[in-house]
Amino acid sequence: MPETGADIVGGCLCGAVRFRSTAAPIAARYCWCRDCQAIAAGNATINVIFPSDAVTIEGETADYESLADSGNRMHRRFCPKCGAPLFSQAEARPHLIIIRAGALDDPSIARPSGVIWTSSAPPWACIDPDLPQFPAQPPPS
């Protein structure tokens, strides 16, 4: 966790989108669902969960809306210029925003504490055996 009072900042690959969180992350975890494999070039995404009201975003994002494997209607937002995946939000949980760890200026603040959707992972996936694993979507936190 970052020092108290230190905002967490980040952005997309090209710099057109920047964001800032005044709150520390609630949690971080790997997701191996098939949607995440598609946007993470074959790997799991690493998702850092923040309270939505602490996060401000500058710059235009594109929104891909879909029905997730969990049954949630999801909004996945990315930079329309460079394509970097940035945010996701479930309509059922608007108070939470997920930021992709790769978009953080300092991803070292977001050590994942669990792995979800392991049932969708390919056999060669590197999954940390020391972390709790969930075959699908765990109950909402």
Among 33, 98, 103, 115, binds Zn ion (CB under 5 A): 33
Residues 63-102 that bind Zn ion (CB under 5 A): 79, 81-82
Quote the least distance from Cβ 17 to Zn ion, whole Å.
6
CA torsion sign, 61 to 64 to 68 to 72?
positive
β-pair type (27-31, 115-116): parallel
What's the per-residue H, E or C state across 70-130? CCCEEEEEECCCCCCEEEEEECCCCCEEEEEHHHECCHHHCCCCCEECHHHCCCCCCCCCC
| Per-residue burial over 112-132, b = 16 or more CB atoms within 10 Å of its CB, e = otherwise | beebbbbebbeeeeeeeeeee
Quote the least distance from Cβ 36 to Zn ion, whole Å.
3
Does 16 participate in binding Zn ion (rule CB under 5 A)? yes
Does 38 participate in binding Zn ion (rule CB under 5 A)? no
Among 8, 28, 31, 99, binds Zn ion (CB under 5 A): 31
Q: Which is nearer to Zn ion, 21 or 32 (CB)?
A: 32
At a CB cut-off of 8 Å and minimum separation 6, what does 122 contact?
A: none
Does 48 participate in binding Zn ion (rule CB under 5 A)? no
Residue written as token pair 């392991």: 118
Among 9, 14, 26, 131, binds Zn ion (CB under 5 A): 14
Q: Which stretch binds Zn ion (CB under 5 A): 29-37, 87-95, 106-114, 129-137?
A: 29-37
Among 36, 49, 104, 110, binds Zn ion (CB under 5 A): 36
Q: Which residues bind Zn ion (CB under 5 A)?
A: 12, 14, 16, 31, 33, 36, 79, 81-82
